[in-house]
């Protein structure tokens, strides 16, 4: 399951920041059995929106093995608060490497957990307890938040022999049919309330992100990177990848995802990943190392140039998280 941020525009370049694809498992208001979903999260920061697209696999997971999020997590800030919150927040919006992207994912996992906690507390006040104990934990959310097309963590991919790290999604059971309309109305109100503590932070982060991704996309489509990419193409072609699917990291990942979708069992999907993940990590190495070298240097210059905006962003992180914690812990 190639976890993969691999959509491109008509020029074959990555979409701009507000449509950077991140393959994750997220809270979806869907009832019944859980099926393994290919989900794409678009960074629509102004509303913290989550959009589910791509393929739905035929294999279904066992709900008993899923990792549920409980509002009890929010009552223990030490369980979810990272040690350097503002740095992780900055990596979430301005990543230059796979490891930085993974660090940023820790912050997004925290935001998800707090947002879910606020929504749950709000719904309980309206008399609905369906969300309690469901969803996904902050740590599981973080583990699945990967973008192997623009920010592949090759060390992780090689070590785990996988493009992503499992599911853990546990959907809520849903209200009785007679209460569905009221539930939906209250759910919308609660989702809006859950977004509110983060709106200023997300706006400030989006401003930095929009500027940064112009620079990042220029690096990833530059002549030196394209020259290195020729080696990736030759490498994966020699392992059996069709030439038309070997032209970029994204095209390879899209092809591997397609192979996965034809697997009849989840075990077969994992076997396909175990075969192709180490090949991808090895073949992509020279390209990704050059990309990250250029991106890390550009990020340093960018953060220095935008130091005032960066400081303003950092100043918003702690208050936003503290406010969200208070609302998630508010008496039901």
Of 18-22, 152-156, 163-167, 230-234, the one with minimum mean pLDDT is 18-22
Give start and end residues of each alpha helix (H) in the chain.
77-80, 85-93, 98-125, 138-144, 154-160, 180-195, 199-220, 223-238, 249-261, 266-305, 307-328
Which residue carries 């929106």 as its tokens? 49
CA distances, 236 to each of 7, 56, 152, 239, 245 (Å) = 19, 26, 16, 5, 9
Q: Are 116 and 135 in contact (CB under 8 A)?
A: yes
**Euclidean distance between CA atoms 158 and 255, whole angstroms:** 19
* Count of residues making up the chain: 332
Radius of gyration of the chain (CA): 20
Q: What is the pTM of this model?
A: 0.74
Separation of alpha carbons 198 and 178, rounded Å: 33
On the question of pLDDT at 59 being above 90, the answer is no
Percentage of the chain surpassing pLDDT 70? Answer: 70
pLDDT at 82: 47
For residue 63, name the pLDDT band (cuts at 50, 70, 90). Answer: very low
Q: Are 52 and 39 in contact (CB under 8 A)?
A: yes
- pLDDT for residue 34 is more than 80: no
User: Mind listing the pLDDT tens digit for each residue in 231-280?
Assistant: 999 999 999 999 999 999 999 999 998 998 888 888 898 899 999 999 99
Q: State the average pLDDT over residues 119-137.
A: 80
What is the pLDDT confidence band of residue 167, given thresholds at 50, 70 and 90? low
CB 239 within 8 A of CB 283: yes
pLDDT band for position 58 (cuts 50, 70, 90): very low
Mean pLDDT of all residues in 55-83? 34
Instruction: Give the pairing of strands 56-60 and 35-37.
Output: antiparallel
25 pLDDT higher than 60: no
Q: Give the H/E segment covering residue 36.
A: strand 35-37
- Which alpha helices (H) appear in 239-306, and where do they start and end? 249-261, 266-305
69-89: average pLDDT: 54
Read off the pLDDT of each residue in 128-156 and give the average, rounded to a whole number.
82
């Amino acid at each position: 399951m190639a976890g993969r941020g691999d959509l491109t525009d008509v020029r074959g370049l990555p979409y701009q920041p507000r449509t950077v694809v991140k393959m994750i498992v997220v809270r979806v208001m869907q009832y019944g059995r859980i099926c393994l979903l290919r989900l794409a999260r678009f960074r629509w920061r102004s509303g913290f929106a989550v959009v589910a697209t791509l393929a739905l696999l035929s294999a279904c997971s066992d709900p008993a093995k899923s990792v549920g999020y409980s509002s009890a997590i929010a009552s223990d800030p030490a369980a979810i608060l990272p040690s350097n919150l503002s740095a992780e927040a900055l990596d979430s919006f301005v990543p230059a490497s796979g490891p930085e992207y993974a660090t940023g994912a820790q912050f997004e996992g925290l935001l998800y957990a707090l947002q879910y906690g606020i929504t749950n507390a709000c719904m309980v006040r309206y008399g609905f307890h369906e969300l309690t104990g469901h969803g996904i934990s902050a740590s599981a959310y973080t583990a699945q938040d990967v973008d192997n097309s623009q920010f592949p963590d090759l060390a992780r991919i090689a070590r785990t022999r996988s493009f992503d790290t499992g599911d853990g999604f546990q959907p809520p059971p849903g209200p009785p049919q007679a209460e569905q309309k009221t539930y939906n109305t209250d759910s919308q109100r609660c989702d809006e309330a859950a977004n509110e503590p983060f709106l200023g932070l997300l706006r400030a982060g989006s401003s930095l992100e929009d500027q940064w991704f112009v620079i990042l996309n220029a690096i990833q489509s530059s002549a030196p990177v394209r020259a290195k990419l020729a080696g990736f193409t030759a490498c994966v072609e020699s392992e059996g990848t069709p030439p038309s699917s070997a032209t970029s990291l994204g095209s390879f990942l899209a092809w591997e995802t397609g192979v996965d979708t034809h697997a009849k069992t989840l075990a077969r999907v994992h076997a396909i990943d175990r075969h192709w993940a180490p090949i991808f990590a090895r073949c992509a190495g020279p390209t990704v190392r050059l990309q990250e070298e250029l991106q890390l240097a550009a990020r340093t210059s960018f953060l220095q140039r935008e130091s005032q905006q960066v400081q303003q962003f950092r100043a918003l992180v702690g208050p936003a998280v503290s406010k969200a914690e208070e609302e998630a812990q508010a008496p039901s």
